[in-house]
Amino acid sequence: MLFYSIKRFGLATLVALTVSFISFGLLYLSSDPAIAMAGETASDADIEAIRKLYGFDRPILVQYLDWLQRAIAGDLGKSYYFRTDVSSLIGERLPTTMMLGVSAITFAIVFSVPLGVAAAIRPNSIIDRIALFLSVMGQALPSFWFALMLIILLSVNLRLLPTSGSDTWLHFVMPTVVLGYYAAPAIMRLTRTGMLEVLSTDYIRTARAKGLRPSVVLFKHALRNAIIPVVSLAAVQFGFMLGGSIVVETIFALHGAGFLAWESITRNDLPTVQGLILVFSLFYIVLTFLADLLNAWLDPRIRIS
């Protein structure tokens, strides 16, 4: 287990470094950062002065290492648009995104794992068909459309929920459902396939031949094995939600990191975009790493090898 964790950790660090290099390079890919800072109307001399001042004339690797050192210390530069530290800007917005992510993944799991299990117990039954229908819908409906439909129904017509903002938990209900429903189909399908596969294994037959009660066979022996890949998927989905909630946060005007991403992209605020990409990717990498550990913990064949 220790060796496995170290290997995974090393791998995660490598990926993180690569990602950091790419997001660093983003500034240079899009335009000359000196021109961007000085503004379109600046003279050549001014641009040259800024280039010297900020060190843009140094070799790229030196600049990267310098940038990396500061990034690790928490300094992600200054936002062009908000005129504040990118790190404190992101720090202010993250709790909202986190809250949305956690509630959405919880909703997705609570909704789709039991449905997947029920569908696997009776393949081709009514429940299985309903589950299939819901998952096809979840995959086919664009989130923005689903979000708008919910707003029309629940906010405009029934006046049950607020349309936008992030002040109370009520504000999070619709965004959670929209974002969670987006992740649910994959989790549901994987639970169903996993359960179907496990239920036909020899060790389930053994469990029944021992006279174990159906609930023990199902929830102890089968689900425990079927859930292992689902855990990985859910972790990846969660990482995806943290970064991918741009559409949902924008529609519901939740002032989270996704909304910030939208704001800074439309305003060409490169340092903020860069910082967000870095933070989102790191989340993703950390979550994948944690999912690997969780997987090993759940599966003795990985844990003890």
- Residue 207 interacts with other proteins (CB under 8 A): yes or no: yes
**Nearest-angstrom CA–CA distance, 183 and 98:** 16
**Would you say 247 and 144 are in contact if contact means Cβ atoms under 8 Å apart?**
yes
**Nearest-angstrom CA–CA distance, 88 and 94:** 10
Q: Which is nearer to other proteins, 194 or 271 (CB)?
A: 194
- Residue 139 interacts with other proteins (CB under 8 A): yes or no: no
Q: How far is the CB of 128 from other proteins (least distance, A)?
A: 15
- Residue 209 interacts with other proteins (CB under 8 A): yes or no: yes
**Would you say 279 and 92 are in contact if contact means Cβ atoms under 8 Å apart?**
no
Q: How far is the CB of 179 from other proteins (least distance, A)?
A: 31
Count of C-beta atoms within a 10 Å radius of residue 13: 12
Q: Is 168 exposed, middle or buried (0-12, 13-18, 19+ CB in 10 A)?
A: exposed
Q: What Rg, from alpha-carbon coordinates, does the chain have?
A: 24
Size of the site for other proteins (CB under 8 A): 23
Q: How far is the CB of 238 from other proteins (least distance, A)?
A: 23
Q: How far is the CB of 1 from other proteins (least distance, A)?
A: 13
Among 73, 202, 215, 266, binds other proteins (CB under 8 A): 202
Q: How far is the CB of 200 from other proteins (least distance, A)?
A: 9
Which range in 43-51, 140-148, 180-188, 200-208 contacts other proteins by CB under 8 A?
A: 200-208
> Is the Cα dihedral 146, 151, 157, 162 positive or negative?
positive
Query: 174: which 2 tokens?
Result: 């619709």
Q: Which is nearer to other proteins, 129 or 303 (CB)?
A: 303
Q: Which is nearer to other proteins, 71 or 119 (CB)?
A: 119
Q: Is 113 exposed, middle or buried (0-12, 13-18, 19+ CB in 10 A)?
A: buried
Closest alpha carbon to 116 in 135, 102, 137, 138? 135
* Residue indicated by tokens 């964790």: 5
Which range in 34-42, 189-197, 211-219, 266-274 contacts other proteins by CB under 8 A?
A: 211-219
- Residue 211 interacts with other proteins (CB under 8 A): yes or no: yes
Q: Which is nearer to other proteins, 227 or 291 (CB)?
A: 227
Closest alpha carbon to 112 in 172, 173, 189, 176? 189
- Residue 216 interacts with other proteins (CB under 8 A): yes or no: yes
**Would you say 273 and 261 are in contact if contact means Cβ atoms under 8 Å apart?**
yes
Q: Which is nearer to other proteins, 58 or 213 (CB)?
A: 213
85-105 core/surface letters (b: 16 or more CB in 10 A; e: else): bbbebbeebbebbebbbebbb
Q: Which is nearer to other proteins, 216 or 247 (CB)?
A: 216
- Inter-CA distances, 40 with 112, 246, 257, Å: 52, 29, 29
Task: Tell which positions 261-300 bind other proteins, by CB under 8 A.
Answer: 298-300
- Residue 225 interacts with other proteins (CB under 8 A): yes or no: yes
**Would you say 222 and 204 are in contact if contact means Cβ atoms under 8 Å apart?**
yes
Among 9, 144, 145, 203, binds other proteins (CB under 8 A): 203
Q: Which is nearer to other proteins, 70 or 210 (CB)?
A: 210
Which range in 9-17, 41-49, 102-110, 201-209 contacts other proteins by CB under 8 A?
A: 201-209
What are the residues binding other proteins (CB under 8 A)? 201-203, 205-214, 216, 220-221, 224-225, 298-301, 304
